[in-house]
């Protein structure tokens, strides 16, 4: 017992000297964007209001629901929305693309309503799409009642859910383009004038590698911030909710993540893909961030049709490889033919090939 107490005391001393992170945040977390791995958390599953970081979901829902070339006409209802504004007036017409800059840079509550009404006919119907998307992503502790983040007791998320929603959104190239811009001029098509939109995210241009994504504030929610940063081939996403020191905390959280992780090469472009009946290679490199000193279990599942459409040219995609780390799907890579194949193998040839691949796998 005495030995146990000494060990426990030593452990407590060790914990006490660890740097405290996001001390002023009610909730915080950091995830690795490639794998979804939880890098750091503080009260990360508490349901809290998230203010305008709501618009991350509004934006990705819009991008998946209509073309960015759609023309959005601003209603009187949208133009009169309270709170932060893109300075829209009733009757203004903007492309959906330009409107989303007003949504994400100016954090326009008016833009959020205009987008919702254009896509679904009403805010309530659009919110149904947002909640369905949250469930699809796996954000089980998230519920939306509006597209802008105005206070409502039934409008909430968690730091972890918001990080996973952002991870999903950052896979969309147009979303990434929008949230990385510091300023944008939106064309009002029917007047020929422009609306100037400016990003509220101070870390863009100030923090090395910052590529987005969204600020938020209401009196009920406090200061909310979601950031993404990329260095050395790694991207991390940090979230804080109700944090009066969010700018400094995000710098610290992201710095720690980049210091604690390194990039691991899983497969290389041109490397042999061993599970196919045919000679196949990976179409590109696949890398994952791994905590320094850790040895995660990474496996691959090959997805190649039982019958190919012959002939198959060298370099032609024939399927894809799915990578699994610690039981979670972390991404895919195209699998291509390593040579020209003019006809299907015989059963005997396939059997020999499979036995050879099985032997090679056993030797790994």
Q: State the catalytic residues.
A: 52, 55, 107
| H or E segment to which residue 289 belongs | strand 286-291
Please choose, from the candidates 124, 133, 123, the residue with its C-alpha nearest in 3D space to the C-alpha of residue 65.
Answer: 133
Q: How far is CA 272 from CA 155, 275, 283, 343, in A?
A: 49, 9, 10, 21
Which residues make Cβ contacts (< 8 Å) with residue 275, sequence separation at least 6? 300, 302, 304, 357, 361
Q: Provide the pairing of β-strand 234-243 with 222-231.
A: antiparallel
Q: Retrieve residue 244's tokens.
A: 């009066």
Which residues make Cβ contacts (< 8 Å) with residue 52, sequence separation at least 6? 84, 107, 109, 148, 149, 214, 215, 216, 217, 218, 224
Q: What is the DSSP letter of 16?
A: H
Dihedral pair phi/psi, residue 359, rounded to 5°: -65, -45
Q: Retrieve residue 323's tokens.
A: 């990578």
Residue 51 and residue 30 in contact, taking contact as beta carbons nearer than 8 Å: no
Residue 169 and residue 56 in contact, taking contact as beta carbons nearer than 8 Å: yes
d(CA 7, CA 92): 68
Q: Do you know the residue count of the chain? A: 364
Which residues make Cβ contacts (< 8 Å) with residue 144, sequence separation at least 6? 54, 57, 127, 130, 131, 134, 155
Dihedral pair phi/psi, residue 37, rounded to 5°: -60, 135
d(CA 170, CA 56): 10
């Amino acid at each position: 017992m005495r030995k146990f107490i000494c060990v426990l005391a030593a452990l407590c001393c060790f914990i006490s000297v660890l740097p405290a992170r996001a001390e002023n945040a009610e909730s915080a977390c950091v995830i690795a964007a490639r794998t979804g791995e939880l890098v750091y958390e503080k009260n990360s599953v508490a349901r809290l209001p998230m203010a305008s970081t709501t618009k991350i979901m509004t934006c990705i829902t819009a991008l998946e629901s209509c073309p960015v070339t759609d023309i959005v006409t601003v209603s009187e209802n949208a133009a009169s929305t309270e709170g932060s504004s893109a300075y829209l007036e009733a009757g203004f017409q903007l492309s959906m693309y330009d409107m989303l800059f007003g949504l994400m840079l100016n954090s326009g509550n008016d833009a959020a309503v205009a987008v919702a009404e254009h896509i679904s006919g009403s805010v309530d119907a659009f919110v149904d799409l947002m909640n369905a998307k949250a469930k699809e992503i796996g954000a089980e502790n998230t519920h939306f009642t509006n597209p802008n983040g105005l206070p409502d007791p039934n409008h909430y998320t968690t730091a972890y859910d918001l990080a996973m929603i952002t991870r999903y959104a950052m896979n969309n190239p147009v979303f990434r383009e929008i949230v990385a811009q510091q300023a944008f001029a939106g064309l009002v098509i029917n007047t020929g004038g422009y609306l100037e939109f400016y990003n509220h995210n101070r870390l863009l241009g100030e923090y090395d590698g910052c590529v987005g994504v969204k600020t938020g504030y209401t009196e009920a929610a406090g200061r909310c911030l979601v950031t993404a940063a990329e260095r050395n081939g790694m991207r991390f996403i940090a979230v804080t909710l109700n944090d009066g020191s969010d700018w400094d905390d995000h710098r610290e959280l992201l710095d720690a993540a980049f210091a604690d992780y390194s990039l691991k090469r899983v497969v290389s472009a041109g490397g042999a893909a061993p599970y196919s009946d045919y000679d196949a290679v990976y179409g590109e490199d696949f890398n994952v961030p791994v905590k320094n000193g850790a040895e995660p279990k990474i496996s691959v599942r090959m997805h190649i049709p039982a019958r190919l459409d012959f002939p198959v040219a060298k370099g032609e995609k024939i399927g894809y490889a799915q990578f699994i780390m610690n039981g979670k799907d972390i991404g895919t890579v195209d699998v291509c033919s390593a040579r020209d194949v003019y006809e299907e193998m015989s059963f005997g040839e396939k059997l020999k090939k499979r036995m050879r691949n099985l032997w090679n796998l056993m030797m790994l």
